[in-house]
Amino acid sequence: MVDNKSKPGPNPHQFPKPHPSAPRRILRRVVLIVTALVVTLLVATAVAISSYIAKIAPTTPGIEGLQAVREAQPSILLSADGTHLATFARGQQEQVTLAQISPNVIKALIATEDHRFYDHPGIDVSRSLSAIVHTLRGDAQGGSTITQQLVRNVFPEIGRSRTIERKVREIITAIKIEKAYGKDQILETYLNSVPFLYNVIGIEMAARTYYDKPAAELDVLESATLVGMLKGTSYYNPVLNPDRAQKRRNVVLAQMRKHGALSADEYDALREQPLQVKLTRQPDPLGSAPHFAGYVRRQMLEWADANDYNLYTDGLTIYSTLDDKLQSAAEASVERQTKVLQDIADVEWGSKSKRVASHTPAAYAALRKKVEPFSYFWTERADLLDAFIRETGEYKKAVAAGRSEEEALAGLKANEKFMTRLREGKTRLEAGFLAMDPVSGEVKAWVGSRDFEIDQFDHVAQAERQPGSTFKPIVYGAALEQGLRPDRIYPDGQVEIRLVDGGVWRPTDMSGFSNRMMSMREGLVYSKNTITAQVMQDVGLPNVLRMARAVGIEHSRLDPVPSLSLGTSPVTLFEMVSAYSTIARVGEYRKPVVVRKIADRHGNVIAEFGSEPQRVMSEETAIELIDMMRGVVRFGTGTEVRSRFNIAADIAGKTGTTQNNTDGWFIMMHPRMVAGAWVGFNDSRVTMRSDHWGQGGHNALLLVGDFFRDTLKAKLVDTKIKFPQPKRPPPLIVQEPSQEWVDRVTENMELTPPPGYGVIQQNGTTVVVGPAGQDLPAERAPSPSSGSSQGEDEAGRYLTDSGRRPALSGIPVESSGSTPAGTWNAGGGDLNYPVPGQ
């Protein structure tokens, strides 16, 4: 029998002993909680990332953008004759297929930039993680695949900033590209779009630029050098930094050996070889008429933006108005005549004497060999030389680096190479030339500078220079429109014009004052500033401004001051030739045309261009103005264009010279061609020295005359076409009467001339005037009193009876080209004084 009482009972205050499996249950519980938290965190992260990607993805470029890059074709510019003038591309680029690229290039690229290129889907995760680790250790490395690099090259909107958002956008775009295109297509596009400095894009142009060969012929060393540049084209430029480039090239060779593209022996043999790079700049994409092509490009960029085209990638064909033969003639004329004018400037500024050595341009070629060009100029203008130096980038850079102004100036003066370059640049004569067809408004020839390689600045459409007296026809055109007649007379003497600010403007002339009455026609023919200023006063400055804008000076600023009439407001040669074309078109303005039509890459014409005529000047005014400008080239300031170049055609024009011979102008009109030239120096502080060669009638005229002579000789312009003639009453004809009649008249003045006849006595000279073909009857008349005023009154009476205004001062004119020699303009009619022996 057991005694239960002997066994102790449970202690109610004692904690129960834990079950052996309790720790495991707690651990499992903790693991489950942590796992749930991690899963929740991962899910939340995944959702956040997905949401972020979903937000970013729509903003990434579409694959059609890459397709556009693959199909990109530059646009081309053709002349009116179909000659290729220029290629419009973002750089010098030529698309080639992968088969046209050396395998050495492909091997070097893949081994160096992305050796798992054919295995990954656009991003190389292991390489990216490795790049992160190395970067955290202080050794920054790139982890981008070739596809990601392509994204950066092709889609600049992705950017290159080091941000998470940019990287995500890059990765998303790379994956989209990989899904849409094959590896070879991606590789081909990459090699055609990667930049290589010197405005070169793509492996084909890089091969030609650095090795003067196509990409298909690149060997291992050449391929490694070009691929090595991709890490930093400027830093590893083989032309400027050959040592860096060679080290980088050897890194590429090492990568090729590492990945099996080269054997160890090949690597050892190649790594010691020199670079052998020879920079060969490719022809400028702007071609044979670079300034014209540059102007067209600017116009076409505006058109393309407005019409949803890409000038650089849509493969457009642009048909221009430029005429091959006329352009060639213009270039030859500019080259010949500016060489002559440069010799003249070199000789005149190379001698202390101010005497004009010769009035024959060709004589200066021999004289040029006997002087040091511009030596006297630099001696006399030492202050100007210092100013030129202080304006250079080298001087400013030296001062910014801490050198004193005196040290910087002295240091550059001691630099012979720098000083030679500076002097030659400042004393190089420049020119601009433009020719237009006034009927259509089409530009036919355009020369923006003497040599595009030396001076890219366009002196046709960019340079704004004072036009001088070439502006005067606009003043006289405005006057004719206001009803003033060519025979309106003004005193050629000191003129004072009160200015708005209270000052007084006193225009002068190089030839001084004649102190006689001169007609408007004379004022234009002889380019008299005093007459032009008075005409401007009568016309009113607002009317002159309106006329200038109407005829074609649309963009340049025209200051509303009296001196505007003498051409003091800078304008472009393009605007001035356009204005003269309006006059030559008998008062109708046409906006200048440089492009006739545009076709797409399939040959479909998508745009055509032309300009509608606008009547801005009455036909009567234009015809009269042309006739006045005929006088300029027949017996005014532009006669040399006829005498020197023997131009036999109906032409008119105007010379222009600005203060101190800074600018020389000449613009000439023919019914089918208007051509103009500007001559001067880029820095207006350098000028032609002598007043003779500094005049537009002796410098710029040479370019235009040379051009017209050659084009007329080649029958590129029809010499038989003439301008319309002014409609005027038949001229009075002075017929030499019989000596018997003259004797009776002059002895006692007893004969009274019949209606239509007159007797003029002045300064002891008697002239009998009368209609041709009539006999002179003998009728007695009272003798006139002596004195010149009486003679003038007598002349006035008889001329007035004939319906003419008296004018005793005149200039030789051939108003319609049909009046006999010896004609004089008087009061709007032509009086033919007897020529001895006629």
Least confident of 31-40, 127-136, 533-542, 695-704: 127-136
Q: Quote the CA–CA distance of 174 and 191 in Å, as a whole number.
A: 16
User: What is the rounded average pLDDT of the residues 108-119?
Assistant: 92
Are 145 and 123 a contacting pair, CB within 8 Å? Answer: yes
Measured from the Cβ of residue 117, the count of other Cβ atoms closer than 10 Å reads 19
Residue showing tokens 């200066």: 364
pLDDT score recorded for residue 781:
36
Confidence of residue 37 (pLDDT cuts 50, 70, 90): confident
Are 416 and 402 a contacting pair, CB within 8 Å? Answer: no
Residue 176, SS3? helix
The set of residues, in sequence order, having a beta carbon less than 8 Å from that of 283 and lying 6+ positions away, is none
pLDDT score recorded for residue 182:
92
Taking domain 430-713, whether its CATH number is 3.40.710.10 is answered by: yes
**What share of the chain has pLDDT > 90, as a percent?**
64
Token readout for 137 is 């250790």
pLDDT score recorded for residue 68:
76
Residue 129 has pLDDT above 70, yes or no: no
**What share of the chain has pLDDT > 70, as a percent?**
81
Confidence of residue 136 (pLDDT cuts 50, 70, 90): low
Residue showing tokens 């030739």: 577
Q: Quote the CA–CA distance of 765 and 714 in Å, as a whole number.
A: 50
pLDDT score recorded for residue 443:
98
* Mean per-residue pLDDT of the chain: 84
pLDDT score recorded for residue 278:
86
Confidence of residue 815 (pLDDT cuts 50, 70, 90): very low
Residue 525 has pLDDT above 90, yes or no: yes
Residue 275 has pLDDT above 50, yes or no: yes
Q: What are 462-520's pLDDT values in tens digits? A: 999 999 999 999 999 999 999 999 999 999 999 999 888 888 999 999 888 988 999 99
Are 443 and 323 a contacting pair, CB within 8 Å? Answer: no
Q: What are 416-472's pLDDT values in tens digits? A: 999 999 999 999 999 999 999 999 999 999 999 999 999 999 999 999 999 999 999
Beta strand spans in 658-773 (E): 663-670, 673-681, 732-733, 758-762, 765-769
Of 499, 493, 485, the C-alpha closest to 538 is: 485
Amino acid at 802: S
pLDDT score recorded for residue 747:
64
Report which of residues 25 and 364 the model is more confident about: 364
Are 784 and 749 a contacting pair, CB within 8 Å? Answer: yes
Are 341 and 427 a contacting pair, CB within 8 Å? Answer: no
Residue 299 has pLDDT above 70, yes or no: yes
pLDDT score recorded for residue 746:
61
User: What is the rounded average pLDDT of the residues 527-556?
Assistant: 96
Confidence of residue 156 (pLDDT cuts 50, 70, 90): confident
Residue 282 has pLDDT above 90, yes or no: no
- Give this prediction's pTM: 0.75
pLDDT score recorded for residue 134:
54
pLDDT score recorded for residue 43:
77
Residue 20 has pLDDT above 70, yes or no: no
pLDDT score recorded for residue 752:
56
Amino acid at 218: L
pLDDT score recorded for residue 828:
31
Residue 15 has pLDDT above 70, yes or no: no
Q: What are 369-414's pLDDT values in tens digits? A: 999 999 999 999 989 999 999 999 999 999 999 999 999 999 999 9
Least confident of 228-242, 617-631, 772-786: 772-786
Confidence of residue 749 (pLDDT cuts 50, 70, 90): low
User: What is the rounded average pLDDT of the residues 600-623?
Assistant: 95
Least confident of 140-144, 181-185, 332-336, 477-481: 140-144
pLDDT score recorded for residue 835:
33
Residue 791 has pLDDT above 70, yes or no: no
User: What is the rounded average pLDDT of the residues 312-316?
Assistant: 91
Q: Quote the CA–CA distance of 645 and 249 in Å, as a whole number.
A: 62
Residue 140 has pLDDT above 60, yes or no: no
Residue 237, SS3? coil
pLDDT score recorded for residue 766:
57
Upper half-sphere CA count for residue 38 (Cβ side, 13 Å)? 6
pLDDT score recorded for residue 776:
41
Q: What are 574-598's pLDDT values in tens digits? A: 999 999 999 999 999 999 999 999 9
Of 692, 668, 666, 691, the C-alpha closest to 679 is: 666
User: What is the rounded average pLDDT of the residues 646-660?
Assistant: 95
Measured from the Cβ of residue 542, the count of other Cβ atoms closer than 10 Å reads 10
DSSP calls for 7-58: SPPPPTTSPPPPPTTHHHHHHHHHHHHHHHHHHHHHHHHHHHHHHHHHHHGG
Residue 341 has pLDDT above 90, yes or no: yes
User: What is the rounded average pLDDT of the residues 236-245?
Assistant: 93
Q: Quote the CA–CA distance of 71 and 85 in Å, as a whole number.
A: 23
Confidence of residue 169 (pLDDT cuts 50, 70, 90): confident
Residue 753 has pLDDT above 70, yes or no: no
pLDDT score recorded for residue 831:
31
Beta strand spans in 149-271 (E): 200-201
User: What is the rounded average pLDDT of the residues 659-668?
Assistant: 96
Taking domain 90-270, whether its CATH number is 1.10.3810.10 is answered by: yes
Q: Quote the CA–CA distance of 25 and 30 in Å, as a whole number.
A: 9
The DSSP letter of residue 815 is S
